[in-house]
Amino acid sequence: MKTLSQLFESKKVMNFNVNKDALNYISEDDLKTYLDVAKPFLSEDSRNVINYLIVNNTSYISDLSTDDEENALAGFYNAGKPKSGNLAELWTSLHNVIKGGRPLEIPVFQTKEQFESIIKKEVAADEVILDLKTEAGRNKVVKQYEPLIHKIVNQWKGKSNLQYDDLYSAALVGFTYAMNRYGKRNKSEVADDAIKRYTFGQYAAQFMKVQILEAIKNESQTVRVPTSVQNKERKEKGSNTKNNSVSGDKAVGKDDEGGKSLFDFMGNVDDASKSLDQADLKRLWDAFYKDLEDEFDSKMLDIFYSFYGLRDHKKIQNKEIAEKYKVNPSNITYYISKIRRFIATNKKTRNKLQDCMELMKECQNDLDREIQGWENPVHVKITENTAVPE
């Protein structure tokens, strides 16, 4: 049988150093507790590594140890990638986590104090995983989350008089505020246990959007007229709009009261972030519901809505549904499966449902955020507050 050293490539590709006080061994039960508590914060690669440590809990120290490293997993990584087998897959997952700048997702790289604070839910896992205190750590966090910053900025591109650079600057202000405040939130505002489950990405996304909205609000009360509004004005007035920006209190369209201003169509600017999220979420759900209503009759949809507690329907059990709608219980399963199959096979409807889930995940800090398996949404539990795999 080949020894561990014989399985490794001769060239070492990385020199990863861990804290001298880092844990080396963690029991199976504690690893399972950590996986349960920190799961929303962990990548698939880190879960793969942790599951390996669970399955091989009695032997991973001896299997992975090298002569020149105190931490078995760190020594295994620094020795280089094995040529093949399960250890090669383990090394690849570990490499992805370290390369991604989040090695502390792996609990054996944490100190005992850090590990216990997470499993006891005293802190959110990202408060340990991310270095938000040192200059080098904060610079690394900014670089790591730069794609998220650009994604948020792009959502507002062309929706105001602000240029991209101005939007980006506002987003950076919000991101910096999130780095300064994450882990120091007012716990009286949210249940103590719930507040520990917010990821830094969710938290930062909210502050970036709030700061962008504030920048738009402070810029002026001049707002860009959407193309749809311009087209409507041309149709009603018989002439083209002179320019693409008007005062916010300018009348748009006609009604019995003599015309409404653009501000009449906008959310409450005093609570812009909240009103935007709610309005967007309602619009997305309404579009999703319309697709279903165009395809199925009202009785079938009422059964579907009652089964999931959607669209102001109280969530009830099959027996109650059968009594309420006078249907055979076996038909309930058939109706629900038929609608779910329609969602799975209709790309536009599936995308609308995914947009709903993404908005709740990124804009509303949905606590049950582990949304996976969109390639087969038939196997996704659907509610207006969460979506998790069955």
The domain segmentation of the chain, as residue ranges, is 4-119, 131-219, 226-264, 270-379
Whether the CB-CB separation of 251 and 258 falls below 8 Å is answered with yes
Helices (H) and strands (E) in the chain, counts: 19, 4
**Pairwise pLDDT comparison (257 vs 374), residue with the higher score:** 257
pLDDT confidence bin for 124, thresholds 50/70/90: confident
Q: Regarding the domain delimited by 131-219, which CATH topology (the fold level of the hierarchy) does it fall under?
A: Rna Polymerase Sigma Factor; Chain: A (1.10.1740)
Alpha-carbon Rg for the chain, nearest whole angstrom, is 26
Do 223 and 267 contact (CB within 8 A), yes or no?
no
SS (H, E, C) 90-133: HHHHHHHHHHCCCHHHCHHHCEHHHHHHHHCCCCCHHHHHCCCC
For the residues 266-273, what does the mean pLDDT come to? 39
The total of other beta-carbon atoms located within 10 Å of residue 165's CB is 9
Most confident segment among 2-11, 148-157, 197-206: 148-157
Question: Region 13-24: what's the mean pLDDT?
Answer: 79
The pLDDT of residue 259 is above 90: no
According to the model, what pLDDT value does residue 382 have?
42
The residue length of the chain stands at 390
pLDDT of 82 > 70? The answer is yes
Determine contact, residues 178/209, Cβ cutoff 8 Å: no
Reduced to 3 states (helix: H, G, I; strand: E, B; else coil), residue 150 is helix
pLDDT at site 270: 39
Report the range out of 6-15, 99-108, 365-374 with the highest average pLDDT. 99-108
∠ CA 56-57-62, nearest 5°, is 80
Residue 264's SS3 state is helix
Overall average pLDDT of the 228-233 stretch: 67
Predicted pLDDT of residue 26: 93
Token reading at 122? 């005293």
- Please state the three-class secondary structure of 197-245 as a single string: CCCHHHHHHHHHHHHHHHHHHHHCCEEECCHHHHHHHHHHHCCCCCCCE
Angle CA 211–214–215, to nearest 5 = 90
How high is the pLDDT of residue 257?
46
Q: Is the pLDDT of residue 228 over 60?
A: yes
